[in-house]
Structure 1
Amino acid sequence: MTESSIIPVFDGHNDVLLRLRRGGLNSVDAFLNGEAAGHIDLPRARRGGLAGGLCAIFIPSPDQPKPGNADFATPAQPDALNETLAMARLLLAIEARSQGAVKVCRSAADIRRSIAEGQFAAVFHIEGAEAVAADLDALYVLHQAGLRTLGPVWSRPNVFAYGVPFRFPSTPDIGPGLTDAGKDLIRACNELRIMIDLSHMNEQGFWDIAKLSNAPLVASHSNAHAISPHSRNLTDKQLDAIRDTGGLVGINFGVLFLRDDGIRNTDTPLEVLVRHVAYIAERIGIEHVALGSDFDGTTIPAALGDAGGLPKLIDALRAHGFDAPSLAKIAHQNWLRVLEQTWGG
């Protein structure tokens, strides 16, 4: 066993529930026992040292195109709530059928315990709050069901804000900020201690949240705009604001957000991903950079392959010069610190 393989990774973003949703409850056993499709299942997570992460519930737009330079329509609100509940049920079913191998975590203490006991620590996350109406009733119910992190928007507008479209090259300064309902949503998330995810937020929305929120600023799966000028990536000024609140950035493995040419090319060396980690660590400090793979939600480097390939990334970070304490911070400690600070334990 190599040194890299024993470093547990807590990951800031995956879309495995959307992939599994297409197979319904029958896909639960495929996740637990292993399958050829996608980036994550339990055997590959164990092989790669993936100890857990934020498991996103995301509702695609009707007839959604592949994200290149694209704007997206808003899905119908009733369908979004129904689909959100269906994917939440999938997550709970995975936990129930796992014989203790998967734990849906509702606190940082839960995550720490799960990692120590070798369980996959899953966190219920919503990416794009279309399931929640402006009255916010569903938010409170979903929180009771285990929701602990939420991105107000995906890359499309909804009743709360204007998500940043996929554009390259482009700044994230596209469109207006939070609506009045969006401001109410941020206040309610602070009240419930739900982590607010700024990935997919446009720049005006980012600054509106920075002004309103009393929690650390977090972008769960975004990269450095200075390296890859994609609208989804964070400017230096945004990075500085994240640092100033004690927040973090989870590095997205998607080649669209890593490369400086904006090309969807899987022949992208892991050194390009490492470059984003190093840039953000140098700009705002090692305590503010982590991993946010976007497994099962984007095109990743072939050199990584899937969750089983995470030791290769740890090796690449080590080869760049990150020492053991720094690797532990990037791999899981920074996420645990920020979640503990946000959730209160």
Structure 2
Amino acid sequence: MGRDAFPVVFDGHNDVLLRLGGPDGGGPGAFFERGDRGHLDLPRAREGGFGGGFFAVWIPSPREQTPAPGRTPGSLPPALDAAYALRRSMAATAMLFGIEDRSDGKFRVVRTAAELRRCLDEGVMPAVLHFEGADAIDTDLDALHVLYRAGLRSLGLVWGRPNAFAEGVAVHFRRSPDTGPGLTEAGRELVRACNDLRIMIDLSHLNERGFWDVAALTDAPLVASHSNAYALCPSSRNLTDPQLDAIAASDGMVGLNFAVNFLREDAARDASTPLDVMVRQIDHLVERVGIDGVGFGSDFDGVLISQEIGDVSGLPKLLSALGDRGYDDGALRKLAHENWVRVLRKTWGE
């Protein structure tokens, strides 16, 4: 089946800004050149039917030698210095706007679901500015309001480290995500402020107590942009069935993370992982959350993915495998992008 037979994909998470900002990343201009490093650039995105997604601002700890989200199991890294976090966050955000400025109208940072939908229809790549961790946000929340004006529409309270608002979940095999304390009082205020501003709160990387604290506070759909099912891969980074049921009850959604160590039942970092493992995860997520509550959250440029996909140009292989499993055209459209548009429209109050 040809690429054109599949719906365009809007993806819940990528780390291309981190790669482009690295020592050999090439800066925003490199996004427009077909490369052989990493997973995502515009030419390969066009080949794979990748229409757009959430572009994450993630800050490596100062002494990390290989800054790669989610790769190293073990204890939590220490909290970041606030000034360092703000400086690095601003540089990554500028990278995103630099891509937009150089795109000749082919790439747009969007702030509404209507604008996102229009971009997908017109072949313009929509990008949602997402912060993967609130490390750069002060407890007075002044930065939150400034960032919202700049275009921030999605916020993960934490990555895999503590901050003033919550604690992330360290990656352990055969350990529950109930790994530490829940939200701080500042974290509760941050959730309320995000609800007021209609910023999407991303529950990926948040530990279980924090998840349930957000669920009790928020009036928005519960969303985990790049997480998988603990029942199939018992990594503390994944979501338990009760968490998935809560997401379903809130009319929220989950984006499938392509990281092989969050997909496999043995959590091995094995690039030979077959597509069927990904399909089984989708099956379980759909069973628990519903066909209207599942999408993709690839984590491109942040994790090791199956060599059967390889990079963003391989997305049609996953869609084909899902079609072979019995997902019809309507279901594939929902998984590919319609569910993300739906949940963002509801979250952003449109």
1:338 aligned onto 2:338: no
2:90 is matched with 85
1:201 is matched with 206
- Alpha-carbon offset, residue 284 of structure 1: 2.3
1:244 aligned onto 2:249: yes
2:42 is matched with 42
Q: Is the 8 A contact 2:6 2:319 kept in 1?
A: no
1:166 is matched with 171
Amino acid at match of 1:57: V
1:7 aligned onto 2:7: yes
Aligned length in residues: 345
Of the structure 1 ranges 280-289 and 264-273, higher mean CA displacement relative to structure 2 is found in 280-289
Amino acid at match of 1:63: R
Residues 22-68 of structure 1: CA deviation (Å, up to 9, x unaligned): 15995212111222211000001111000000000000123337412
1:147 aligned onto 2:162: no
1:266 aligned onto 2:271: yes
Q: Is the 8 A contact 1:4 1:314 kept in 2?
A: no
Residues 185-204 of structure 1: CA deviation (Å, up to 9, x unaligned): 00000000000000000000
- Distance in 1 separating the partners of 2:193 and 2:331: 34
- Report the aligned-residue RMSD: 1.4
Equivalent of 1:307 in 309, 312, 318: 312
- CA 1:322–1:245 in structure 2 vs 1: closer, same or farther (change >3 Å)? same
3-state DSSP of counterpart to 2:284:
helix
- Distance in 2 separating the partners of 1:86 and 1:26: 14
Q: Which runs of 5+ in 2 are unaligned?
A: none
2:192 is matched with 187
User: Identity over aligned residues, as a percent?
Assistant: 54
Q: Is the 8 A contact 1:248 1:338 kept in 2?
A: yes
- Distance in 1 separating the partners of 2:37 and 2:116: 27
- Distance in 2 separating the partners of 1:245 and 1:295: 27
1:138 is matched with 143
TM-score (norm 1): 0.97
Equivalent of 1:278 in 283, 290, 293: 283
Residues 219-248 of structure 1: CA deviation (Å, up to 9, x unaligned): 000000000000010100000000001000
3-state DSSP of counterpart to 1:37:
coil
1:96 is matched with 101
Amino acid at match of 1:2: G
- Distance in 2 separating the partners of 1:209 and 1:186: 7
- Distance in 1 separating the partners of 2:26 and 2:273: 34
- Alpha-carbon offset, residue 75 of structure 1: 2.0
Residues 55-113 of structure 1: CA deviation (Å, up to 9, x unaligned): 00000123337412342222221011011111111111101110011011110011111
- Distance in 1 separating the partners of 2:268 and 2:22: 28
- Distance in 2 separating the partners of 1:327 and 1:97: 32
Q: Is the 8 A contact 2:76 2:168 kept in 1?
A: no
3-state DSSP of counterpart to 2:153:
strand
Amino acid at match of 2:85: A
Runs of 4+ in 1 over 4 A off after TM superposition: 23-26
Q: Is the 8 A contact 2:76 2:162 kept in 1?
A: no
Of the structure 1 ranges 165-174 and 18-27, higher mean CA displacement relative to structure 2 is found in 18-27
- Distance in 1 separating the partners of 2:23 and 2:42: 17
Amino acid at match of 1:47: E
- CA 1:289–1:72 in structure 2 vs 1: closer, same or farther (change >3 Å)? same
2:17 is matched with 17
TM-score (norm 2): 0.96
Residues 155-208 of structure 1: CA deviation (Å, up to 9, x unaligned): 111100011111111110010000000000000000000000000000000000
